[in-house]
Structure 1
Amino acid sequence: MGTVLLEELSFSSALTHAVVLRDLRQYEVTSPAVVVNMGGSDAFIGHGQSAALPAFSSTILHGGFITGELLAVLSVETVQNGEQQARELGWADFYGAEPGQPVLLRSAQDTIGTVLLDPALVLRQPGLAPGEKAFTLKANLWFSPAGTNCGIHNRHDFIEVHTQISGLGRMQKFTSQDHASLYEDQLLSPGNTNPVPFCLEREGTFIYPWHQYRADTDCIWLALEYHLS
């Protein structure tokens, strides 16, 4: 099987131990872990019989083996006093300390490297010419307490997906910057990634509908950002 190099991410902590595995021929998972396929092709997971873990998807493994181009493995922890722990770790208050703003805490961000993706396949976008492009992948964790609406927005200059690490949350889509205009919920429990990045590529940028993350319980989630190089 050979030596496997585990790259610990800067935001790895008692909240969740987080590592990256590259060009992995085989690695054994021995304790519950969220496994995220961050690459542009299928990874494979299993125990005796392997199954595909598609690009931009994730699962929880309690054992077995994983193989793939670029994977993140994050420990499954029982998180208590998550906000206090995140603040003690120095996570930034995204909205600052202004009264009335949501509690949205962000860990340090790591640049993981370059990933080749075909936006026509990744975004399931009809009419987009096929072809691989290079993206710079960045990753960080977020925390919000139960009942938090994290902010409706529609601006990103990158492709983004979210993987739930602890708690229950959701990605929500809206027709305007108004909670009453909600038209879709994508429910996220630990180990889930929102199924397809919901942006369109237009002339080198990415267009999103109005959307937000909502924390139904205290939540920690992983954000993956793919920036067009």
Structure 2
Amino acid sequence: MSIETLSIGDPFFTLRILKEEAAYQIKGKTIVLNLSDDPIRVREQTLGELQSAVLQGTEVRDVSHAVIVERYADHADGELLMAEIRKAWPSAFEVRGEERLRGIEHYMSPKVWVGQFGFTLYHSASVPLNVGLHKDHAFCPVPGFREVHTQIIGFGKMQQCRKRDIETLYLEEPMAPGTTHRPMYDADGNYPWHQFETITPSVFMAVEMLPEGATPPEL
């Protein structure tokens, strides 16, 4: 049994990793994302692998592995919150250097790896975001890389395309606080062309999952 608090959301949000917890009491509004293939029990219902929900005033049981986001609903002024985030976090282009991110109002927290799982928060400030379609994750040369995104603040949409052209869009999932899009990778970790697009200024969490044999990039 363990509960590990991550600092990447400070001072705006509190993130915790739960492992092998028979029961955990949820108090204020909290986003819960199941990172295990074992279901999490919520009263008479369950959260399956990589499914998430907003919970409040209830107990989750049989938690093999999950990440939770607390205090996301405690901010009375969303515009002020995101203005403070922009002061605290660098742009994604500064950190990652990807040409598609140049000049884009897209900001990111520090990234932390806990075992094979990487956690990062992103703030997308403009509407539209125009972050650019992509499908490769070159830092993970081992087949089987997985990634999902969970909406925390605001509204967005995850888009999948047949080609590197938004006109070839074939699947779009709305993203609201507490939503995690369905996995889009195949068994070998191959992705379609995809992007996150804003409906409103947003904050979301990216969870990267490395296959066995892959090493977190900064190690």
TM range (shorter): 0.7 to 0.9
Structure 1 equivalent of residue 134 of structure 2: 153
**Residue 28 of structure 1 contacts residue 65 of structure 1 at CA under 8 Å; is this kept in 2?**
yes
In the alignment, structure 1 residue 183 sits paired with structure 2 residue 180: no
Structure 1 equivalent of residue 6 of structure 2: 9
**Residue 90 of structure 2 contacts residue 108 of structure 2 at CA under 8 Å; is this kept in 1?**
yes
1:17-68 residue CA offsets vs partner (Å, 9 max, x unmatched):
111111111111111111111122211112xxx3111010100011110121
Identity %: 24
Whole-angstrom CA distance in 1 between matches of 2:2 and 2:19: 8
Q: CA deviation at 1:100?
A: 6.4
Aligned Cα RMSD in Å? 2.1
1:3-30 residue CA offsets vs partner (Å, 9 max, x unmatched):
x753211212233211111111111111
Aligned length: 196
Kindly indicate which of the two structures has a greater share of residues assigned to strand.
Answer: 1
Structure 1 equivalent of residue 198 of structure 2: 215
Whole-angstrom CA distance in 2 between matches of 1:15 and 1:217: 19
Greater than 3 Å deviation, 4+ residue runs: 96-100
Structure 2 equivalent of residue 199 of structure 1: 185
Whole-angstrom CA distance in 2 between matches of 1:100 and 1:106: 14
Whole-angstrom CA distance in 1 between matches of 2:86 and 2:202: 14
In structure 1, give the amino acid aligned to 2:193: W
TM-score of the pair, normalised by structure 2: 0.82
In structure 1, give the amino acid aligned to 2:128: G
**Residue 7 of structure 2 contacts residue 14 of structure 2 at CA under 8 Å; is this kept in 1?**
no
TM-score of the pair, normalised by structure 1: 0.79
**Residue 36 of structure 1 contacts residue 58 of structure 1 at CA under 8 Å; is this kept in 2?**
yes
Which range moved further: 175-184 or 64-73?
175-184
Pairs within 5 Å for 1:110-149: 110-113=112-115, 136-145=116-125, 146-149=127-130
**Residue 171 of structure 1 contacts residue 211 of structure 1 at CA under 8 Å; is this kept in 2?**
yes
Listed as ranges, the gaps of 5+ residues in structure 2 are 213-219
Whole-angstrom CA distance in 1 between matches of 2:202 and 2:59: 28
In structure 1, give the amino acid aligned to 2:47: L
Task: Label 1:218 to 1:82 Cα distance change in 2 as closer, same or farther (>3 A).
Answer: farther
In the alignment, structure 1 residue 168 sits paired with structure 2 residue 151: no
1:54-90 residue CA offsets vs partner (Å, 9 max, x unmatched):
010100011110121111111232333344322332x
Task: Label 1:149 to 1:81 Cα distance change in 2 as closer, same or farther (>3 A).
Answer: farther
Listed as ranges, the gaps of 5+ residues in structure 1 are 114-135
Structure 1 equivalent of residue 36 of structure 2: 39
